């Protein structure tokens, strides 16, 4: 979990995220190879919400990876960085009528998740039969019944998709086909608690059952994201895709029906580090506090996890301290990143580097007390700034306020 290290590169100015491009290449290629091996007629689409950094989106685009978006804003963002509608998978429970219509007209692979979306798609199909509207439906299925203990919604139902047991899924099919649209895809996404390929086998099994019950001819089966990924486990992505194929190859024609995957955390968590610096230390009673220039909101916005880390310190080796509370810069008492046990007493200027923090961190982009930190990309031992640190000018953009006028940054008080 932790170590004292001499890193390969001189660290960037802190605070800063660093994306290791070679690690990202490894993970993206590993998924691509698994798809090429087991389901060549497939689409890898990157889950934009996981980390929507523009550099990353354009990296994915260059790799031939599509964008999977779950809101109108993400749809527009994907277009703004250069994705064409045909390279976008449009998901999410709350689409607008206007963007949905535009996505269907322009060939985005679209999975519906609400009754109003079904109504709007049916409306468009009836209005313009020449469009040949083809949509996917998100399926609500009981993960816990098939894989006990795997659901992340403990003791409750998932709220996403249409229930294929109580008639709501069938009603959506009827409404769409009556209007001249076709149900051409299934969207099976579920998050799970472990990295077990059985979760994907279960999702594929439910898709197989639905295909046969409702006699569907599908253009795509979108198995979703939620995969686990680590640089050390070289077989996991292959295991995921091979078990999906094993479950579905008798049910669909693999050369006609595309497999869609939507990886997020499995490709972007591991390649990202976050560099923090010690600003001050203080002893209060028996407690030693180490104050840093980062916040827990930067790397754990939901206050749930503890990232692995390493420390680069100038402290003498014989200064071990049993417990040091690593605290953030904010004024929240619970902005504490971790308790460092039996480590050298950190001193001002030391660096703490949190690892595997690329997923669901930057995209929460907090402007609480400080603006979002800079982001660098590490490429062949060289760091390139791909996002400067946020500042007051960014924050004021788009705002109207009375009595104020935007000053050039140089004129701001220190
Ligand atoms: C529909 C959908 N696709 C893809 C993802 C990406 O999941 P992950 O980052 O776990 O791969 C999510 C995340 O919850 C999701 O809701």
pLDDT digits (tens, 9 = 90+) for 62-108: 999 999 999 999 999 999 999 999 999 999 999 999 999 999 999 99
Residue ranges lining ligand 1, Cβ < 6 Å? 47, 50, 68, 91, 189, 191, 224-227, 262-266, 359
Q: Containing domain of residue 52, as a range?
A: 39-267
State mean pLDDT over 10-31: 96
pLDDT of residue 1 exceeding 70, the answer is no
- Rounded Cα distance between 274 and 14, Å, is 9
pLDDT of residue 414 exceeding 90, the answer is no
Number of domains in the chain: 2
- Compute the mean pLDDT over every residue in the chain, rounded to the nearest whole number: 94
Tens of pLDDT, residues 134-188: 999 999 999 999 999 999 998 899 999 999 999 999 999 999 999 999 999 999 9
Domain stops at, among 252, 267, 282 = 267
CA of 341 to the centre of ligand 1 (A): 34
At residue 345, the pLDDT reads: 95
- Rounded Cα distance between 210 and 283, Å, is 62
CA of 320 to the centre of ligand 1 (A): 41
pLDDT of residue 409 exceeding 80, the answer is no
| Claim to verify: residue 71 and residue 172 sit in the same structural domain | yes
| Claim to verify: residue 262 and residue 280 sit in the same structural domain | no
Residue appearing with tokens 């209005």: 127
Q: What is the CATH number of the domain that holds 330?
A: 2.40.37.10
Atom 5, ligand 1: residue with shortest CA distance: 225
Residue 22 falls inside a structural domain: no
CA of 383 to the centre of ligand 1 (A): 29
Domain stops at, among 267, 283, 301 = 267
Tens of pLDDT, residues 346-358: 999 999 999 999 9
| Claim to verify: residue 276 and residue 233 sit in the same structural domain | no
Give, for ligand 1, the residue of 65, 112, 191 to mutate: max count of ligand atoms closer than 8 Å to Cβ: 191
Q: How far is CA 186 from CA 107, 235, 246, in A?
A: 16, 26, 17
Percent share of the chain, pLDDT over 90: 89
| Claim to verify: residue 335 and residue 261 sit in the same structural domain | no
| Claim to verify: residue 226 and residue 111 sit in the same structural domain | yes
| Claim to verify: residue 46 and residue 122 sit in the same structural domain | yes
At residue 91, the pLDDT reads: 98
| Claim to verify: residue 248 and residue 136 sit in the same structural domain | yes
Residue 409 falls inside a structural domain: no
CA of 89 to the centre of ligand 1 (A): 12
Q: Which residues pair with 309 in a beta bridge?
A: 2, 354
Give, for ligand 1, the residue of 150, 224, 268 to mutate: max count of ligand atoms closer than 8 Å to Cβ: 224
Q: Which helix (H) or strand (E) holds 327?
A: strand 320-327
Atom 10, ligand 1: residue with shortest CA distance: 226
- Rounded Cα distance between 36 and 241, Å, is 10
| Claim to verify: residue 89 and residue 163 sit in the same structural domain | yes
- Return phi, psi of residue 311, to 5°: -125, 135
| Claim to verify: residue 345 and residue 281 sit in the same structural domain | yes
| Exposure letters 346-373 (e unless 16+ CB within 10 A, then b) | beeebbbbbbbbbbbbbbeebeeebebb
At residue 318, the pLDDT reads: 80
**Both structure tokens of 409:** 């940054």
Residue 312 falls inside a structural domain: yes
Residue 120 falls inside a structural domain: yes
Contact call for residues 288 and 321 (beta carbons, < 8 A): yes
Atom 4, ligand 1: residue with shortest CA distance: 225
Residue 124 falls inside a structural domain: yes
Tens of pLDDT, residues 203-245: 999 999 999 999 999 999 999 999 999 999 999 999 999 999 9
| Claim to verify: residue 241 and residue 117 sit in the same structural domain | yes
> Can you tell me which atom of ligand 1 is nearest the CA of 359?
9
DSSP string, 364-387: G---SSSPPPEEEEEETTEEEEEE
Please, where are the H alpha helices in 164-197? 168-178
Tens of pLDDT, residues 267-285: 999 999 999 999 999 999 9
Residue 380 falls inside a structural domain: yes
> Can you tell me which atom of ligand 1 is nearest the CA of 268?
9
Q: Which range has the worst mean pLDDT, 65-79, 319-333, 352-366, 395-409?
A: 395-409
At residue 365, the pLDDT reads: 86
At residue 155, the pLDDT reads: 84
| Claim to verify: residue 84 and residue 116 sit in the same structural domain | yes
Residue 26 falls inside a structural domain: no
CA of 261 to the centre of ligand 1 (A): 10
Nearest partner of 315 among 358, 283, 278, judged by Cα: 278
Helix (H, G, I), strand (E, B) or coil at 265: helix
| Claim to verify: residue 176 and residue 106 sit in the same structural domain | yes
Residue 407 falls inside a structural domain: no
- Rounded Cα distance between 231 and 266, Å, is 10
Give, for ligand 1, the residue of 220, 264, 267, 272 to mutate: max count of ligand atoms closer than 8 Å to Cβ: 264
Contacts of 1 (CB under 8 A, 6+ apart): 308, 309
Q: What is the CATH number of the domain that holds 142?
A: 3.20.20.10
Contact call for residues 54 and 19 (beta carbons, < 8 A): no
Domain stops at, among 237, 267, 297 = 267
Give, for ligand 1, the residue of 160, 226, 263 to mutate: max count of ligand atoms closer than 8 Å to Cβ: 226
């Amino acid at each position: 979990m932790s170590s004292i290290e001499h890193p390969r590169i001189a660290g960037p100015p802190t605070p800063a995220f660093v994306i290791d491009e070679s690690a990202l290449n490894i993970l993206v290629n590993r998924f691509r190879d698994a798809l090429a091996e087991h389901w060549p007629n497939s689409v890898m689409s990157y889950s934009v919400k996981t980390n929507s950094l523009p550099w990353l989106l354009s990296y994915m685009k260059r790799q031939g990876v599509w964008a999977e978006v779950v809101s109108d804003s993400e749809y527009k963002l994907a277009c703004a960085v250069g994705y064409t509608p045909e390279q976008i998978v449009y998901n999410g429970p709350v689409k607008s009528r206007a963007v949905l219509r535009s996505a269907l007209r322009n060939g985005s692979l679209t999975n519906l998740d609400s009754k109003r979306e079904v109504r709007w798609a049916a409306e468009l199909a009836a209005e313009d039969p020449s469009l040949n509207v083809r949509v996917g439906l998100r399926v609500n299925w009981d993960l816990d019944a098939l894989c006990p203990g795997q659901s992340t919604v403990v003791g409750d139902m998932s709220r996403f998709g249409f229930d294929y047991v109580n008639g709501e899924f069938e009603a959506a099919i009827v409404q769409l086909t009556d209007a001249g649209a076709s149900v051409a895809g299934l969207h099976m996404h579920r998050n799970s608690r472990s990295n077990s390929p059985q979760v994907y086998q279960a999702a594929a099994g439910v898709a197989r059952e639905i295909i046969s019950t409702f006699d569907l001819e599908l253009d795509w089966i979108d198995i979703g994201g939620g995969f686990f990924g680590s640089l050390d486990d070289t077989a996991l992505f292959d295991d995921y895709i091979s078990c999906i194929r094993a479950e579905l190859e008798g049910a669909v024609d693999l050369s006609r029906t595309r497999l869609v995957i939507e990886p997020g955390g499995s490709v972007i968590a591991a390649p990202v580090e976050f560099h923090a610096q010690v600003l001050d230390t203080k002893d209060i009673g028996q407690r030693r506090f180490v104050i840093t220039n980062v916040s827990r909101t930067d790397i754990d916005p939901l206050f749930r996890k503890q990232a692995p880390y390493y420390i680069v310190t100038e402290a003498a080796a014989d200064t071990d301290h049993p417990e040091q509370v690593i605290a953030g810069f904010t004024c929240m008492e619970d902005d504490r990143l971790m308790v460092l046990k039996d480590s050298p007493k950190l001193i001002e200027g030391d660096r703490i580097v949190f690892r595997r923090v690329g997923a669901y961190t930057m995209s929460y982009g907090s402007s609480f007390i400080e603006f979002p930190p800079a982001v660098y990309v590490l490429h062949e031992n060289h760091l390139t700034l791909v996002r400067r640190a946020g500042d007051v000018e960014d924050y004021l953009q788009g705002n109207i306020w009375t009595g104020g006028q935007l000053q050039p940054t140089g004129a701001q008080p220190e």
